[in-house]
Chain A
Amino acid sequence: MTALRELRSLGNSVVLRWTVAALGLVLVLSVTQELARPETTDLISSGTAEATLRRAVPILLAGLGGIWAERAGVVNIGLEGMMILGAWFGAWGALEFGPWWGIVIGIAGGAAGGLLHAVATVGFGVDHIISGVAINILAPALARFLSREVFAQRPGGGITQSPRVDSVGDVDVVFLSGGDLFGWTTPDLFGWVDDRGWFFVSDLCAVLSGITSDVSWATLLALALVPASVVILWRTSIGLRIRAAGEHPVAADSLGVNVYRMKYLAVVVSGGLAGFGGAFIAIEQTGIYREAQTQGRGFIGLATVIFGNWQPVGALVGSLLFGFADALQLRDRTAVHSLLLLAGVAVAVLAIRAVWQRRSRAAISLAAGAALLLWWYSVTDKVMGELPPITPHLATLLVLVFAGSRLRMPAANGLRYRRGQE
């Protein structure tokens, strides 16, 4: 009983913290939106929120895949290749059996890539990076071959793309975003407030409306995998064993954990998650399989693993951030310029927090960074189009350089393990 209460109070405080953080973020966005008003109105809107979520899901799934593998001590840079497998098999499954089967078959395709990685790294003891690189070479070749054999024979398909595929379908939440309830269309509460144009409140509702209307069922499933990963990895005995295999495999082995089996399991799950991400891109985002459509998202997922400090919630935050940069540039090129303003304001907030915490050196460098960003914003009127796509990469390098000492990866991550070693 006490354990339950403890868990609940822990949950409450975590939920509270994240709610405050999310509200703070919306406030910063609202303020920035007001500052950038004539230039853009798309910085915070229901459309942007919806696009952000849609763009974030594949990155999130790749990130979760990375976390599963690395928590078991296996570095998986083959995520990109597994996403490609997921995208191809997802599209094929969707064509053959319908969108939901597409998702399932995409997951299976990615998991097969994960199994290959596990056989090489765990079974044969090949270096993790080398095996990952090999899978990234093999997967696109296999996808091209299969496209030629399968898609090229069908109307609308070719050697680099599939015919169009159906998506799994969207849903509106009842009462909040005008969803249907037994055939009756409920009022669209968030949409109504959004239209009022009240500072902050309307923006908040715009975001909520964006993420509660026209939500793909697959998105909901992907989001549910975040708490599911947390619970499985941190609250079940199998999760404990997986993490033990990644922290100290020798100790885990001495306690009777079958380390090989745990690593196999985690890496196959990792591949399956990446495959889901790939299938999501093909089925939900674009409605077609197209060669190279994963665009390095597997690597961005890897970035969110580090960015999020090997925590599923961290990967979620990272993927939303990167999804936001992606969505903004897709919807409104001029809005990208106001990203500089946003980044400047955000860094300034961090600088104020550093002053509050009496960390003078951090405060000075943050203030300088904020000044630089705001100066850049004020002297330019548009930002180079090459910048938004590489925000994840820049952000990850910055995090590693300036906060690297505060990250903690699993202790035996990336190390070769043979049963019976000392």
Chain B
Amino acid sequence: MSVRRILMAAAAPVVAIVFSVAISSVVLLIAGTSPLEAWMEMLSYGTRLETLVATANRATPLYLAGIAVAIGFRMNLFNIGVEGQYVLAALLSASVGAAVDLPAALHVALIMLVAMTVGSLFAGVAGYLKVTKGVHEVISTIMLNAIALAAVGYMLRNWLIDEADTSLNMKTPEIPPSGRFPNLNGVVETFTREITRGRELWGFILVAALVGVIFHLFLTRTRVGYDLRATGLNPFAAEASGVDPKATVMRTMLLSGAVAGLIGLPEVLGDSYKYDLAFTRGLGFTGIAVALVGRNHPAGVAIGALLFGWLDSAAPILDVVGDTPREIVSILQGVVVLSAVVSYEVVNRVRRSQEARDAAAATRPKQEMEA
């Protein structure tokens, strides 16, 4: 029984990935290039140490984004606003980080606290509108995304810009060294060869892992986490058993926003030390994809984030070596998401009908005996 359950759980993602690779291969064949060659190139480039470091660096913010989205999904709340929340949080926390000077650990902690608070409060707006005015969070977060990005543009241009900088790139002042997050190159290099090409493994990956563990413990070991899951599974039963639905919505949005606030920090604290026009956008939307592929489970989201991170990091080789357009990887990612949600749905349905059959089989002999 449990073996079958594990097989069923593994079936959906495997089917999704095989299907996506097949579709992308067909697209490549139509475009006139050899898919096998392309995949082999990606595999050989993708297993190099530098690519793996890039994968981890890309997966770190994606994982945080996936967890932020997953927190909402676990109680059927769609936080589409992760995008706006993390960009706003990155701008404001980078500015605060540059304005103060504190001992190293405190400095980093303050920046993280500011980012989480900003993300949380901005997500809280959508929660508040839902609880008091019944505004659906999908609509409000879509609208708030546009408002957040406009606010970021305005604040950066008028209030937070680095006056000393004369280049065309609008940026906030740089965070002093005490507010930066150390890299893990030394740790990795004790096990492997030296990491070349100036690549650094961002230390923030540890924070992301910690967030995943806390998320898991929160869901399985705390009262609030239980309420959240219960509301997601059956809101009516949860309310009947004394869960306050409005408070749960508020808490979920605030938590989701707090994690969303962290998304920009791996880059800000580990690489750029500022917010500027080159800051990576779009992670909030990719985070939705990562959460969907990972089925909102902390471990699943990690796999999703690593998969997406690896695809992004290994793709550039396609242009360099062969004549395969690297955009095929974006198509692959899109198809993975769509086929993953469809196959989860199908597997779920098969599982449910099988359980119904099992239950019927288990109760039948008893009835015959009674008769």
Looking at the assembled complex, report how far the CB atom of B92 sits from the nearest CB atom of chain A, in whole angstroms: 16
| Cβ A393 vs Cβ B146 within 8 A | yes
Distance of A416 from chain B, by nearest CB (Å): 10
Whether the Cβ atoms of A126 and B150 lie closer than 8 Å is no
| Assembled-state Cα–Cα distance A136/B335 (Å) | 11
| A contact residues around B153 at 8 Å (CB) | 386
Q: Would you call A125 an interface residue if the criterion is a C-beta within 8 Å of the partner chain's C-beta atoms?
A: yes
Known contacts A126-B341, A404-B134: A141-B327 contact under CB 8 Å:
yes
Min CB distance B117 to A, Å, is 22
- Report the minimum CB–CB distance from B38 to chain A (whole Å): 13
In whole Å, how far is A420's beta carbon from the nearest beta carbon of chain B? 13
Q: Say whether A134 faces chain B, with CB atoms less than 8 Å apart.
A: yes
Residue of B nearest to A135 (CB): B338
Chain A window 77-110, contacts with chain B (Cβ cutoff 8 Å), 1 for yes, 0 for no: 1000000000000000000000000000000000
B115 nearest CB across to chain A (Å): 22
Which listed residue, A125, A134, A299, A393, touches B337 by the CB 8 Å rule?
A134
B300-349 residues with Cβ-Cβ distance < 8 A to A are: 325, 327-328, 330-331, 333-335, 337-338, 341-342, 345-346, 349
Q: Is A393 in contact with B334, judged by CB distance below 8 angstroms? A: no
- Contacts of A386 on B, CB cut-off 8 Å? 150-151, 153-154
The answer to whether the Cβ of B292 comes within 8 Å of any Cβ in the partner chain is yes
Least CB distance, A386 to chain B, in whole angstroms: 4
Q: Counting CB contacts under 8 A, is A120 at the interface?
A: yes
* Contact across chains for B341 and A131 when beta carbons are under 8 A apart: yes
**Can you list, as one digit per residue, whether each of A263-298 has a CB less than 8 Å from chain B (1) or not (0)?**
000000000000000000000000000000000100
Q: Separation in Å of the A381 CB from the closest CB of chain B?
A: 15
**In whole angstroms, what is the CA distance A124 to B12 when docked?**
14
Contacts of B243-292 to chain A: CB distance below 8 A: 285-286, 288-289, 292
Please name all residues of chain A whose beta carbon is closer than 8 Å to the beta carbon of B150 when the two chains form the complex.
Answer: 386-387, 389-390
Give the CA-CA distance A217 to B85 in the complex, in Å: 42
Stretch at the interface among B137-145, B162-170, B179-187, B226-234: B137-145
Docked complex Cα distance between A120 and B335 (Å): 12
Residues of B within 8 A of A396 (CB): 139, 143
Surface stretch bound by B, among A51-59, A144-152, A364-372:
A144-152
List the A side residues contacting B325 at CB < 8 Å: 145, 148-149
Chain A residues closer than 8 Å to B139, beta-carbon distance: 302-303, 306, 396, 400
- Which of B78, B328, B338 contacts A131, CB < 8 Å? B338
User: A141 touching B285 by the CB < 8 A rule?
Assistant: no
A69 to chain B, nearest CB (A): 14
Judge if B133 is at the interface, Cβ distance under 8 Å: yes
Chain B CB within 8 A of A23 CB: no
Question: Roughly how many angstroms separate A394 CA and B146 CA in the complex, as a whole number?
Answer: 9
Inter-subunit contact A134/B289 (CB<8 Å): yes
Nearest-CB distance from A87 to chain B (Å)?
Answer: 17
Q: Which A112-134 residues have a C-beta within 8 angstroms of B?
A: 116, 120, 124-127, 129-131, 133-134
Determine chain B's interface SS by DSSP, over half rule: helix
Give the total of B residues in contact with A, Cβ under 8 Å: 41
Which residues of A sit under 8 angstroms from B143, Cβ to Cβ?
Answer: 303, 393-394, 396-397
Interface 1/0 per residue, A372-411 and B, CB below 8 Å: 0000000000001011011001101100110010000000
Q: Known contacts being A130-B341, A390-B150, A393-B147, is A138 close to B292, with CB within 8 Å?
A: no
In the bound assembly, the distance between CA atoms of A137 and B361 in angstroms comes to 44
Contact in complex: B147, A390 (CB < 8 Å):
yes
Chain A residues whose CB sits within 8 angstroms of the CB of B144 once the complex forms = 393, 397
* Bound CA–CA A159/B341 (angstroms): 30
Q: Is the CB of A145 within 8 A of B338?
A: no
Q: Is A330 located at the chain interface by the 8 A CB criterion?
A: no
Question: Is the CB–CB distance between B341 and A120 below 8 Å?
Answer: yes
Interface centre among B143, B333, B346, by most A CB within 10 Å?
A: B143
The answer to whether A137 and B327 touch (CB under 8 A), given A125-B345, A129-B78, A404-B134, is no
B213 CB-CB contact with A under 8 Å: no
Q: Is residue A142 within 8 Å, beta carbon to beta carbon, of the partner chain?
A: yes
- Asked if B22 is at the interface (CB within 8 A of a chain A CB), the reply is no
Q: In the bound complex, do residue A400 and residue B142 qualify as a contact, i.e. CB atoms below 8 Å apart?
A: no
CB neighbours (8 Å) of A77 from chain B are 80, 138, 142
Please give, as numbers and ranges, the residues of chain A lying within 8 Å of B129 by CB-CB distance: 397, 400-401
Min CB distance A88 to B, Å, is: 13
Contact A141–B333 (Cβ < 8 Å): yes
B27 within 8 A of A: yes
List the A residue with the shortest CB-CB distance to B146: A393
Nearest-Cβ distance from residue A106 to partner chain B, whole angstroms: 20
CA distance A130 to B144 in the complex (A): 19
A210 to chain B, nearest CB (A): 28
Of all chain A residues, the one with the shortest Cβ separation from B289 is: A137
Q: Verify if B36 is at the interface (C-beta below 8 Å from A).
A: no
Note all chain B residues with C-beta closer than 8 A to A135. 338
> Cα distance A182–B129 when bound, in Å?
59
- The chain A residue sitting closest to B73, CB to CB, is A130
A125 to B153, CA, bound (A): 39
Beyond contacts A393-B144, A404-B135: 18 other A-B pairs, Cβ-Cβ < 8 A, are: A75-B138, A77-B142, A124-B342, A131-B338, A137-B285, A137-B288, A141-B333, A145-B325, A149-B325, A159-B327, A306-B139, A386-B150, A386-B151, A386-B153, A390-B150, A397-B147, A401-B129, A401-B133
A-B contacts, 20 listed (Cβ < 8 Å) = A75-B138, A77-B138, A120-B341, A120-B342, A129-B138, A136-B285, A138-B338, A139-B334, A141-B330, A144-B330, A148-B327, A159-B327, A299-B146, A390-B147, A393-B146, A396-B139, A397-B147, A400-B140, A401-B135, A404-B133
Q: B: which residues have CB within 8 A of A?
A: 27, 31, 78, 80, 129, 133-135, 138-140, 142-144, 146-147, 150-151, 153-154, 158, 285-286, 288-289, 292, 325, 327-328, 330-331, 333-335, 337-338, 341-342, 345-346, 349
Nearest 4 CB-CB pairings of A with B: A138-B334, A141-B330, A145-B327, A386-B150
